[in-house]
Amino acid sequence: MESVSVNKFRETLKDCVEKVISQHMPLKVTRRSGEAFVVMSAEDWEREQETLYILQNSDLMRQISQSLKTHQKREGYTPSDEELDEILSI
């Protein structure tokens, strides 16, 4: 994660925000007091929240684990070409 001082962040706010949004990379802003904060796009923050939800949900993690096992054994459900097209077009 890239880091910048709060003074530099203030001077280049527009450029910093554009970079965070376009590159999907959070930016750590440091302060003299030692406390820092992170700037990230709303889209990236929402994605992180979804990931945390899934990782904290034991039932979902169990389903993912079972799916991975059946996939590795080449067992389980195989989507049709139409279903694959729909999935890949998202």
CATH number, position 7: 3.40.1620.10
Q: Are 65 and 50 members of one domain?
A: yes
More confident residue, 75 or 46: 46
> pTM surpassing 0.75?
no
Q: How confident is the model at residue 6 (pLDDT cuts 50, 70, 90)?
A: very high
- Is pLDDT at 75 greater than 90 in this prediction? no
pLDDT of residue 76: 82
* Tally of structural domains, the chain: 2
Q: Are 32 and 51 members of one domain?
A: no
Give the Cα separation of 36 and 13 in Å (integer): 16
The per-residue pLDDT for range 7-34, each reduced to its tens digit, is 999 999 999 999 999 999 999 999 999 8
Print the domain residue range for 65. Answer: 43-88
Q: Between the CA of residue 55 and those of 2, 41, 75, 88, 89, what are the distances in Å?
A: 26, 21, 24, 24, 25
Kindly state the tokens that stand for 59.
């039932």
pLDDT of residue 78: 84
